[in-house]
Amino acid sequence: MREDGSVAVDALLDRFNAAPAKTRWTEALIRHLVDTSTKNRFSITQDPDGVLRIRANQGHSWEVNHGLIAENPPATLYHATLATCVSAIGEGGIDKMARQHVHLSDMEHLARNAGHRQHVFAVDAERMAEDGFIFFRSTNNVWLTEVVPAQYLLRVALLSELVPAQTAATSKPSLRNR
């Protein structure tokens, strides 16, 4: 694996196909998985020498240089979580844990990708940026930062309460106070 987190598709295929399995992995299958992923977690690039490479767009648990450039975030970002984590996050903030960054979403991305994490924290990203926190946006539009201290958590809501309230691009989501 290179420092950007990518691996050669041929090397990945060799590894996958070395083990007995019902599915024979091919470049076409990997491209299909990358192209049809609703979360756009992976991307494929081609080196100048023609070598195809694949990498995760974010979420590595070890140091990877994605070449991300700092950006000003939207005023509010969101973090979806499980019910069992709500109390701890409300008290201690959001930590990156074993990842390189905390993952945050804008409203559109949240609505598409929250999955089974039905509790959503609104994060005052604008104030965080004003206070010196750095934000990056990954290739698949996930917002990344080192940590979200509890004082920047605005509210928590159930995803089912939040997403239907987003009826127009300019409307504000209705969130229940913490």
Instruction: State pLDDT tens for residues 110-140.
Output: 644 556 667 888 899 999 999 999 998 887 7
pTM value surpassing 0.75: no
Three-state helix/strand/coil letters over 45-79 = EECCCCCEEEEECCCCCCCCCCCCCECCCCCEEEE
Q: What is the pLDDT of residue 69?
A: 81
CATH node for 76-162: 3.20.170.30
What's the pLDDT tens digit per position in 153-177? Answer: 987 777 777 655 443 333 334 343 3
Angular region, 121: left φ>0, alpha ψ -120 to 50, beta rest: beta
Task: Give me the pLDDT at residue 109, please.
Answer: 58
Average model confidence (pLDDT) across the chain: 78
Q: Where are the domains of the chain?
A: 7-56, 76-162
